[in-house]
Structures are given as structure tokens and as C-alpha cells.
Amino acid sequence: MRTIGHFVGGKEVAGTSGRFGDVFLPMTGEVQARVALATTAEVRAVVENAKAAQAAWGATNPQRRARVLMKFLELVHREYDSLADLLAREHGKTVVDAKGDIQRGLEVVEAMIGIPHMMKGEYTDGAGPAIDMFSMRQPLGVVAGITPFNFPAMIPLWKAGPAIACGNAFVLKPSERDPSVPMRLAELFLEAGLPPGIFNVVNGDKEAVDAILDDPDIQAVGFVGSTPIAQYIYARAAASGKRAQCFGGAKNHMVIMPDADMKQTVDALIGAGYGSAGERCMAISVAVPVGDDTADRLMRELVPRVESLKIGPSTDPSADFGPMVTKAHLDKVKGYVDLGIEEGATLVVDGRGFTMQGYENGFYMGGCLFDNVTPDMRIYKEEIFGPVLSVVRAKTYEQALKLTNDHEYGNGTAIFTRDGDAARDFASRVNVGMVGINVPIPVPLAYYTFGGWKRSSFGDLNQHGPDAVRFYTKTKTVTARWPSGIKDGAEFVIPTMK
């Protein structure tokens, strides 16, 4: 059986802890590899290696760093198909969805090719009598990313691309459920000309995470995952003096107005609710039709679409979605469906009994659809992270808006309507970080920033876009005056521009 170690100093190294995690093939339920779980000492060794390499990389001019990113893009495109196949086989999402995972990560790397411009500081000539003032952005040093299983290419690249472009050394702790793509990305960065030690992968569990959070040489940590862990990581990182951007759970609402084009709405809802088996932080998991007539029309069109979803192995190009990542996660999602029935919601479509012929031990589940869900139910309050859609009926637009605003999560939301006034009002008043207007999954493009509000996000700066450069650099401001502009005599008052 294949054993996955760590990527340190430009090469894969075996783990020394003697502890391993299973990497499954979700299509069949088989264990296809085992991954080493690092000790605190192993994490420390990775950080020391990264620290030794960072100084020279940070001193490399931004244009040359950008050229490495350009070469990396070329190499990933060369291996697009094999990377997508590798990703699908460990995660469970379809190959075509895996290609989207990779592409959205590459788009952030593409945006970072403009790093020579984005790292420019400011300059003021004659800020005072014979005084010039300027600022410069400098790398932090060694930074780390702790990333989730659901996007094993995209989110590591969202973290690594800006961090490396800004001149930092980067330590990635990917999910131990699907670590192979991050390991391959590290090899491709090396082939692209990135110096050894600048991109490192340390696989592990909570011990590795805590070692990263406590290490004195790691200056910043980025995390994506569940809200309880995001809050834990944010607090522990801050306690040790690190910058932290931590993104947590979501319960994304789609408000459906009476004037919405129902066919377009259902098309959008099917893809956003059930794509990737619902294992997306931007998945629509709550549909909020406004008015009973809207709700009834929605259900008439939605139910047969959910019933006809095609579930298949990850390698089936015609499948709408594939298996879930592990048996434990599958059981957890089915448990939420059981809970919804107990709570009194109406289970209109039940996918719990789905099995795939020839793949009976795979981690499959059909689409589930609840109607008459109410805000007091746990299936409404909590993130399920599976192919389960809840319909919460609202009598008015104001009630639908209040539902969205009152939920503890504020990651993404959408409104479907033909009414420009309603759309504009919703975008202005909704208390959520990312908003779609007739767009079901409003993930911003790479040159904007990605981030939720409320308990979906901890920290002041978002992922990618301008915020990423701010997060991975520190600003130094210089005030300069040369001898010809200096008057004789000591000055005892604070300098002013009066």
C-alpha cells in the first residue's frame, strides 16, 4: 500500500511518528493509501527548514517571483487531467468538478503574477521641509495554511499563491483525508523554479495543527474548516502573537421572489445545493421561497429534479455528483436527515437508501429534500455539509431577509428575482459577506476578496485579492531627511506639519 509522507526542503520525506491515517477511495470504500501524521518535533523541523530558505526568497525581486508562478501555471496545465483524476479518487467529487477545483486555485495564482504592482508602496515628495516619506511592503517570514478536505487544490493555492508571491516561505497542513494533490503541487512548484524549503507540506492531525499554532517562527496562519475549529485556531494563534484569518461554517440561503424565473431558479438550486454532494462551504443549503404560491411552484419543479439526480463514481462523466469523502462523514449526514424527520420537517425526497451497483461499499447517498423546515430546527441551524436541501417558507420578503440576517452564519447568500429594486435592497441590507443576484454560488473572482461575516469568519482580512497581499506582508513607513535640509539645534517638540 502506498504511504504518503511529508514534503520538506524540496523532497518527500517519510514520517517518523509511527502514526498514520487512512486515505480512502470513496468510490469503493477501500483504503488506497496511508498518510503519515507528524509530531511536534517534525513540524518544528519543517519550520526551521522554511526559515532558512525564506531570507533569500524574500530578497528575490517580485518580478522574478512572478516568473516562478507563471512557470508553475504552465506545469499544472500540463498535468491537469492527471491531477483532476488524483483529486477525484481521494475526495470523491467527479473529475469534471475536480478540474473546477484546480482551476479556481490557479486563478488566484494567475492574479498573483501581478505581485510587482501589488507590493508597491507609496511615496510623497516633500511631505515636510526637505522631508520625503515612503512606505514599503515586506514579507512576514514563515507562514502556514491549514486547509480542508473539500477543496484539496483550490484552497491550498488560495493560501500558498499569495504567500509565496509576497516573498514568504509557506508551510501547508492539508487535510489528511486527501493529501496527494497538495504533495504533487509541491513537486510542481519545485519544478517551476521555487527554491527548496519555500513550499512545504506537513501532513498530520491535531498534534500538527497545535504545533503550527504554537511555533514561534510562524508569523501567520490561514485556516478553512468548521466554525468551532476556526474559532479555536483563531484564538490560539492570536494568543501566540500570530496573524490569523480563519473561515468557518456556512448556511447559505437562496431567497426566491415571486417574480423569479422558476426554471432558472431550479437549475441554479440543483447545482448549488447538490454539486460535489453538498460538500462546499458555498453550497446553497436553504431555499427561502417568498409566499405559498412561490413555494408550491418551486416544489412542483424541484422535487422531480432531485429525484432524478444521477449519482455515480467519480470517474463517470455523466454523474451529477459522486460519493462522499468518508464513511464517517456519510453517516453524519444521514444522521442529520434522521434528525430532521424527528424534528417534524417533511422529508419529500429521501436519498439515504441509495446504493451504487458494483460499488456497494462506496460512500454514496442520494439527494434529500426537506419542506416545512422552521428556524428552531437543528437541520436549519447547523451546517450539514451533504446533499440535503431545506425549504423554509417565508410569507414576505422582509421575513426572508430577516431569516438570512438572523442566522449565526454569514458566508454566502443569493436572491433570485427580476426586480432590480428588490435585488439592490437585498444586496445592501443583507448581513452576509458574499451576495449573488441570480447567481447561486457567489464566489468572487480572484482579484476580489473571499470571506464571510458573523461566525463564518474570524479575522480582519479575507482570502485572495488585495486582502491577501495585506495579510501576507507588513508595511514599513520611512521618513527621510538629508543633511542639507536639517537645521542646527535640537528639537524637543513633536514634529508637525503646521
By annotation, the residues acting in catalysis are 281
DSSP 264: H
One-letter amino acid for residue 256 of the chain: I
What is the C-alpha to C-alpha distance for residues 340 and 102, in angstroms, rounded to an integer? Answer: 34
Write the DSSP string, 291-306.
Answer: SHHHHHHHHHHHHHHH
Burial of 116 (C-beta count, 10 Å sphere; 0-12/13-18/19+)? middle
The answer to whether 37 and 177 are in contact (CB under 8 A) is no
The answer to whether 7 and 183 are in contact (CB under 8 A) is yes
What are the helix (H) ranges across 382-456? Answer: 397-406, 420-429
DSSP 403: H
In whole angstroms, what separates CA 373 from the centre of its chain? 28
Q: Which helix (H) or strand (E) holds 52?
A: helix 40-59
The residues that bridge with 173 in the sheet, in sequence order, are: 146
The residues that bridge with 388 in the sheet, in sequence order, are: 368
The number of beta carbons lying within 10 Å of the beta carbon of residue 186 is 26
Nearest to 106 by CA among 30, 188, 42: 188
Question: Going edge to edge, which strands form the sheet with 284-289?
Answer: 346-349, 368-371, 388-391, 284-289, 252-256, 412-416, 434-437
What is the C-alpha to C-alpha distance for residues 271 and 211, in angstroms, rounded to an integer? Answer: 39
Q: Give Cα separations from 255 to 35, 291, 402, 421 (angstroms).
A: 42, 11, 11, 14
SS3 label, residue 113: coil
Three-state secondary structure readout of 118-179 = HCCCCEEEEEECCEEEEEEEEECCEEEEECCCCCCCHHHHHHHHHHHHCCCEEEEECCCCCC
What is the C-alpha to C-alpha distance for residues 367 and 386, in angstroms, rounded to an integer? Answer: 9
In this structure, what C-alpha cell is assigned to residue 276?
Answer: 460535489
The answer to whether 4 and 34 are in contact (CB under 8 A) is yes
Q: Which helix (H) or strand (E) holds 441?
A: none
The answer to whether 352 and 331 are in contact (CB under 8 A) is no
**Angle at the Cα of 189 (from 186 to 195), degrees rounded to 5?**
105
